[in-house]
Homo-oligomer: A and B are copies of this chain.
Amino acid sequence: MKPIDYIKRQNMITDVLKNEEIDMLMVPPSINFFYLFKGYLGLSERLICGILSPSEDSILIAPSFEKENMQIQTTFDEIVTWKEEENPYLILKNALSSRPKKIALEPSTPFEIYKRLKHQFPEASFVDAGPIINEFRSVKTDEEIQRMVKASEDTATGIASALDIIHAGQTELEILKIVQDQMTLNSGETGWALVQIDENSAVPHGKASDKKLKLDSVILIDAGTSCDYYFADITVTSVHGKPSQEFLDVYEIVEEANNKALEVSKAGVPAEQVDFAAREVIDKAGYEKFFTHRLGHGLGLQVHEEPYIVKGNRKPLVSGNVHTDEPGIYIPGKFGIRIEDDVLVGDKSKRLVEFDRYLWK
């Protein structure tokens, strides 16, 4: 696959910093750190912080014993290190050639790190860097789409294989493990999954339990594996045997809502319109109160990211956005049906992967 160009990403950001008169961007380990500087680092109590500014070299602040490791894993012009007994925030301050007045801070930065930075730079104003970075992250490049197509294919195939080998008597937790294993067999990366059986499927985001699959059980599998850390997010709702007439009736409505949303999604359309399109189908069928969540969300390095497909988000979609299309009808005490695809926005939007969902046939 075509490699990711981190320097290009950094340059896009520094151009914006310049335009917005922001002196620097500070980025502790996070998805945005990975997006800009390559290292997929965990956040810990030891300060690591990447710094970009319009006029200076990029700097990484890191523990001295991790220097070699950081040289391998990240991409900076300069690495400034601190020793275990030193104050890393003071080292950071001293590493800068000037006193920043306006600092953009990575949005997931822990409050305790912000407080310590504020202590070193009491006169600086701190703004949320989220909007700046998301503007780029939400528009996928060809390199990114390649990875997301592969992740989607591996996920769809993994779910289908799992449905093929599970059997009555297995629990949600056991099936969850099977789904993860089947996806990983394809992708070589780990993945996440939700597995919900019968009435449990009526609780969105419910945790897998010891509930067992039976003959003719409804089974909802919401899962995703990744490719180079780019995620897929697909939901299949199936029946382990013969579906009831009620299930088939509701399935048809959710399927129509899913198709309708795909039809409406395209560059230039306000995000909320895509939600409205699916909701209209479900409302008309009389299931209004059982579609309890937004239609979808953007997808990429995170399973939830911009653009959000929700009432109130009037921002137009743009080519290169990838969003989920996941209408659902959840009937308490009975079952829930969700059909979820990952959609690439263009003049005509399309699913990242097409596959046969009628797995009970």
Contacts and interface: CB of A to CB of B under 8 A. Distances in A.
Interface string A303-318: 0110010111000000
A128 B115 CA distance: 8
Interface stretch (A89-97, A100-108, A218-226): A100-108
Contacts of A69: 203-207
Interface stretch (A60-68, A137-145, A231-239): A60-68
B115 A204 contact: no
A95 to B, nearest CB: 20
Given A112-B107, A292-B65, A85 B310 contact: yes
Task: Across the A-B interface, give the 8 residue pairs with the lowest CB-CB distance, nearest first.
Answer: A107-B112, A65-B292, A85-B311, A109-B111, A108-B110, A84-B294, A65-B293, A85-B312
Interface of A: 44-45, 63-66, 68-69, 72-73, 84-85, 105-112, 114-115, 126, 128, 130, 203-207, 292-294, 297, 304-305, 308, 310-312, 332
30 contacts: A44-B304, A45-B297, A45-B305, A45-B308, A64-B292, A65-B204, A65-B205, A65-B292, A68-B203, A68-B206, A68-B332, A69-B206, A69-B207, A72-B206, A85-B311, A85-B312, A105-B111, A106-B111, A107-B110, A107-B111, A107-B112, A108-B110, A108-B111, A108-B112, A110-B110, A110-B111, A111-B114, A111-B128, A112-B128, A114-B114
